[in-house]
């Protein structure tokens, strides 16, 4: 959800985490000193593999995933030790909540994020990460309320509106969720205006992806990370599990998503969690 100005050019959510929560940049999972042509060649290879056999080729190599989660576990333990000395440190609670979410421990992330708000109510409305933690914990009514609060804080960010919609679908059904979608009148960043139209039912997933290709946006790794992630979630709630897995696989395999610093890497972790949860469920 968050974006960095130099990467996206969006006036919404830019540099928000550093400004509001003092969360340090999440280290890239790998560093690639590749040139742009090589990166695109790699992306093409990954997309081809994912389309041909998403189940046979995991989007994140097992060894890399194991090392990443071990690193998050070490960070979480160190933050817990620090919080034992300063239990009301907002920045430490924020960072530990993130690591707990990435480790799949959404309920514990909620505890940290809610404590932040109890200590400083000013962190409530901007705390979209709490809305995400509620989502992964299955607390969809709470998730919807949190994203509604955020809309009062930033009424330009359609990504926020998508998460509210995804929560509302679970609690009230499709048509009521669409009627309750948050209004947006200003452009934020690609590909979110078209994504919002897709969730509103004014385009199909296929039409959305075709439009990106027609406009040449399919050559932008950043755009396609978000496109595949949210198109995958759209297919999931529509009940098309195989297509949802295929699209989520593409998002997690996206080189930009895996190596982007700051906010975008946060959403890559969310895509990974969604993919892993869906892949683990029985068809």
Residue 76 in domain: no
Q: What is the pTM of this model?
A: 0.82
Residue 70 in domain: no
How much is the pLDDT for 254? 93
Contact 195/162 with Cβ under 8 angstroms?
Answer: yes
Residue 54 in domain: no
Compute the average pLDDT of residues 184-194. Answer: 96
**What average pLDDT does the structure give for the chain?**
84
Predicted confidence band of residue 267 (pLDDT cuts 50, 70, 90)? very high
- Reported as a single tens digit per residue, the pLDDT across 202-231 is 999 999 999 999 999 999 999 999 999 999
98 has a pLDDT exceeding 80: yes
Residue 223 in domain: yes
Residue 67 in domain: no
Residue 245 in domain: yes
How much is the pLDDT for 258? 81
Contact 59/232 with Cβ under 8 angstroms?
Answer: no
For residue 193, give its domain range.
Answer: 189-283
More reliable by pLDDT, 33 or 261: 261
First to last CA, the chain: 29
Give the span between the Cα atoms of 225 and 274, in whole angstroms: 14
Residue 277 in domain: yes
167 has a pLDDT exceeding 90: yes
How much is the pLDDT for 261? 60
How much is the pLDDT for 202? 97
Residue 276 in domain: yes
Contact 124/149 with Cβ under 8 angstroms?
Answer: yes
- Reported as a single tens digit per residue, the pLDDT across 24-72 is 333 333 323 333 333 443 444 444 334 434 445 889 999 999 999 999 9
* Number of independent structural domains in the chain: 1
């Amino acid at each position: 959800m968050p974006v960095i100005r130099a990467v996206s050019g969006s006036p919404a959510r830019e540099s928000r985490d550093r400004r509001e929560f003092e969360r340090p940049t999440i280290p890239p999972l790998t560093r690639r000193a590749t040139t742009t042509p090589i990166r695109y060649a790699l992306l093409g290879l990954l997309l081809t593999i994912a389309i041909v056999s998403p189940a046979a080729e995991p989007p994140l190599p097992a060894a890399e995933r194991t090392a990443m989660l071990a690193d998050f576990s070490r960070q979480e333990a160190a933050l817990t030790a620090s919080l034992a000395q300063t239990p009301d440190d907002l920045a430490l609670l924020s960072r530990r909540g993130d690591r707990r979410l990435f480790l799949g421990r959404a309920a514990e992330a909620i505890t940290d994020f809610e404590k932040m708000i109890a200590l400083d109510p000013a962190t409530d409305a901007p705390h979209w990460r709490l809305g995400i933690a509620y989502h992964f914990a299955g607390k969809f009514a709470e998730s919807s309320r949190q994203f509604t609060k955020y809309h009062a804080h930033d009424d330009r960010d359609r990504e926020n509106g998508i998460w509210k919609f995804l929560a509302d679908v679970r609690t009230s059904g499709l048509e009521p969720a669409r009627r309750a979608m948050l209004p947006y009148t200003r452009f934020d960043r690609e590909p979110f205006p078209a994504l919002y139209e897709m969730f509103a039912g004014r385009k199909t997933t296929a039409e959305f992806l075709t439009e990106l290709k027609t406009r040449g946006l399919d050559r932008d790794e950043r755009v396609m990370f978000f496109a595949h992630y949210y198109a995958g979630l759209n297919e999931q709630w529509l009940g098309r599990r195989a297509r949802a897995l295929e699209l989520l696989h593409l998002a997690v395999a996206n080189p930009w998503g895996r190596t982007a610093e700051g906010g975008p890497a946060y959403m890559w972790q969310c895509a990974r969690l969604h993919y892993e949860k869906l892949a683990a469920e029985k068809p």
